Chains A and B, each alone.
Chain A
């Protein structure tokens, strides 16, 4: 991609919205990922696609930006009628329920009811299955496979959880698989389960030492729960692995694309550069950067002297002008640097003057991102008053 003569983020994004089957939206926390995902979804729906926007963020952000009171684990269709009476496509939204997805996965891969109940009833599983590092991400990937095959949708947009390190999201599934890979852990834990009492007859001295330590610090009960959990998972590992391989292939296929959201802040940009590099290294198809909250450069206007304005007011006006100009220039430089560092197109989205918390707001974001949506433009005034009326 980086070999292209003139990068055009808007064109690339519009194409992705028309052609792709899956878009994964990633980036640092607080840059407006969810809003971007939802706005992209809305745009695609207005141009005729049947879109599902899926968020995994435990804080119910998509719900807020869609004005929905709550999102359940099931896709819910949004009413676009008032916004666009003749919208060609459909927009659906859902929030991932990690626990339910995990349970469903267990049900799918256990041989019989007894085996299923053994896992679902295991204390370790109940306490920590959703707390395992990477389980949100893993289940999102698992769900993605499901949704990708769902005939109701022809585009799935996945909003990712905020991660401190962008690569968490990409590596989490592997990490969880590594954890569940019983062949290694069983080696340490099986003696507990089999003997039901403290025994240090393990293959190596290191193993014995690790076991001894674990017992000292975690207690026998915990280790028993843990080993039961792993033994119960034994038969499922191959099934899990097979699904994971399919997700792996799907994410690297032409049907999928990654959009990285950033803002002009230093931290968000550093993470965007990093995320981009990780995508390239992992062979994942990158679509483009979206940089939100870009301060627009104030207009220059005419040269002649303005009508007389009170001195104090003129001073206050000069102050806000200079502040905005400083931010605008900073932002422009920041975006240019991102483009130069990565050789990829960056789409700057001006900072909205008000919060986005309904479909109309999302439409404005979509328009700011991709140009006029195919909806009769009505004059929309969005001020702080809109927020107050809620």
Chain B
């Protein structure tokens, strides 16, 4: 099963176009892993506010500190700048010297625009968290780390940075670190790249493009695809024909229970079209991006919260 295969990894990297619901999918995936007894860490990067996952789970806000939001489920929202500062502090060790550097304008300007530095720092931190050990047995602190990577355009840059850095900085600890990150990303035994899309043209096209670029340019093979927000069949074929006939007849009035028929038919027509589009893109993906895939239903809740996470987790668990 797709889900079992994914949960056997140590690092799952979720990538997809903006707006496809990566954070929600990541949260549901973390929930499934946790429910199977794993200690899970969900990493978000530089989300505009606090951790999305914590919000979806109805937990108090989570910032740049690794926080247990539910038993066995940790979340963190990494801020690249904070990660870099931490790195400087750990490297320099002497407090007042570290402070001097952190206050230096050159450091500020350099970090603000240095190519790939924030990404490299964050990937380094992700690797560190993945390898963190605890207790006497030195067992890994987390059984599974889920990285909710930035949206595709940015996301590829994100994954590319370790490779670029290992080429641009051939010697020294930074280069060595970059090579270790790259090694982790390419290690199919430990890491799975999972693409997230929704059944819309741009999202699936970007997913396919991302899969190709990750493979050709970084040497990372995508392992699975999650198609989120699918509109599923809600009318049997005979019912569909009946709905279309009623629309053609411009049927009106109230259904038992007071539901206005005309409005219901409009909603049904939209639903039929969206469901058809969903099936079309599911087929498209089967042909163009033949990866093990999981379809998740569109969530109709007004405010997406714990109930939606539960529903999606149940679907993932069965995938």
Q: Measuring CB to CB, which residues of chain A are less than 8 angstroms from any residue of chain B? A: 28-31, 57-59, 61, 64-65, 123-124, 127-128, 131-134, 161-162, 164-165, 175-176, 178-179, 181, 184-185, 187-188, 205-207, 209-210, 213, 216-219, 221-222, 263, 265-268, 270-271, 274, 296-307, 309-310, 312-314, 316-327, 329-330, 353-355, 357, 383-384, 387-388
Contact = CB atoms under 8 A, between A and B. Distances in A.
A187 B106 CA distance: 9
Contacts of A216: 172-173
Question: Dominant SS at the B interface?
Answer: helix
Interface stretch (B35-43, B57-65, B152-160, B187-195): B152-160
27 contacts: A28-B19, A29-B18, A59-B206, A131-B157, A132-B115, A133-B118, A165-B46, A178-B113, A184-B106, A210-B106, A218-B172, A222-B168, A267-B52, A271-B48, A298-B260, A298-B267, A302-B260, A304-B252, A304-B254, A306-B253, A312-B239, A313-B235, A313-B242, A317-B268, A318-B255, A324-B270, A387-B277
Contacts of A179: 109-110, 112-114
A218 B166 CA distance: 10
B262 A299 contact: yes
B127 interface: no
B68 interface: no
B172 A210 contact: no
Contacts of B2: none
Contacts of B88: 213
Contacts of B246: 309
Interface in B236-273: 239, 242-243, 246, 251-257, 259-271, 273
A244 B49 CA distance: 30
B187 to A, nearest CB: 24
B222 to A, nearest CB: 16
A330 B303 CA distance: 9
Interface of B: 17-20, 46-49, 52, 88, 91-92, 97, 100-101, 104-107, 109-110, 112-116, 118, 150-154, 156-157, 164, 167-175, 200-203, 205-206, 209, 234-235, 239, 242-243, 246, 251-257, 259-271, 273-274, 276-277, 280, 300, 302-304
Scoring A30, A298, A325 by chain B CB atoms within 10 A of each residue's CB, the highest score goes to A30
A321 B263 contact: yes
A219 B175 contact: yes
Given A128-B116, A353-B273, A299 B263 contact: yes
B110 A185 contact: yes
Contact of B17 (A29, A132, A161, A329): A29
Contacts of A312: 239
Nearest to B304: A266
